Amino acid sequence: MTILNNTSLTTAVYLAHLNPVTNAHVEIIEELKKENNLVVMPVRFLKEENEINSRSFPFNFGIREKMLKSIFGDSIQVSTNYSFYAPFKKYFPPLISPKSWSLRKQILQGIENDYFTYTGDKTEGIMLKLYRLNPKIGTRKMISATDVKNEMYAASQGTSSQWKKFVPTGVAEIISENWETVKKFASAEDLTIKIAGMKFPKDGYDSK
């Protein structure tokens, strides 16, 4: 993807799941875009070019991009550069695996001026520092995307829930349009594995 930069500004690279986009994410993005070029990179996990979705990652990249655009329009860039390709185990161990360094190159593709990466996760921040990605580590917000997902899943199963108050109106509408996806994963097992502080789908971890 071509990154369009105002070369007089630093580029902020926001690496996140954004699954779904919440009010907390919006607050972070608003702050980052004040004085920086901003590139938002929702993570993707791909197996044979198909995105893997699960209870932890219910919404595909296209839906998450639509969520972001419903709020910010063209004032931010949304990039596919933060993508892992199955088998995901090839990215480990960190620093030793050549594939882990190719991910760094992939993230920075098209960024030609000064930059920093942003994460709200301390463990991920340590990893970004080891890969010389100039991280800034923010403070985790009170309500996480996981909390919002759990509220959505409860609502889809008939439990009273206030999930809509934790996401922008436009995002709530997009989630409602994709309510079958929410219902699909509400009763599903969480088929993820946590490695180096980050969740990966079990499907595709060992095999292509």
* Rg of the chain, C-alpha, whole Å: 17
Residue 125 forms part of a structural domain:
yes
Q: What is the pLDDT of residue 198?
A: 87
Alpha carbon distances (Å) from 114 to 30, 110, 111, 136? 20, 12, 8, 14
Residue 151 forms part of a structural domain:
yes
How many domains are there within the chain? 1
Q: What is the pLDDT of residue 139?
A: 81
Residue 4 forms part of a structural domain:
no
Q: What is the pLDDT of residue 202?
A: 96
Q: Which domain holds residue 75?
A: 10-201
Residue 26 forms part of a structural domain:
yes
Q: What's the whole-model pTM score? A: 0.93
Low-confidence ranges of the chain (pLDDT < 70): 1-7
Q: The domain spanning residue 184 has which CATH number? A: 3.40.50.620
Q: What is the pLDDT of residue 131?
A: 95
Segment 72-104, tens digit of pLDDT: 999 999 999 999 999 999 999 989 999 999 999
Share of the chain above pLDDT 90, in %: 85
Residue 176 forms part of a structural domain:
yes
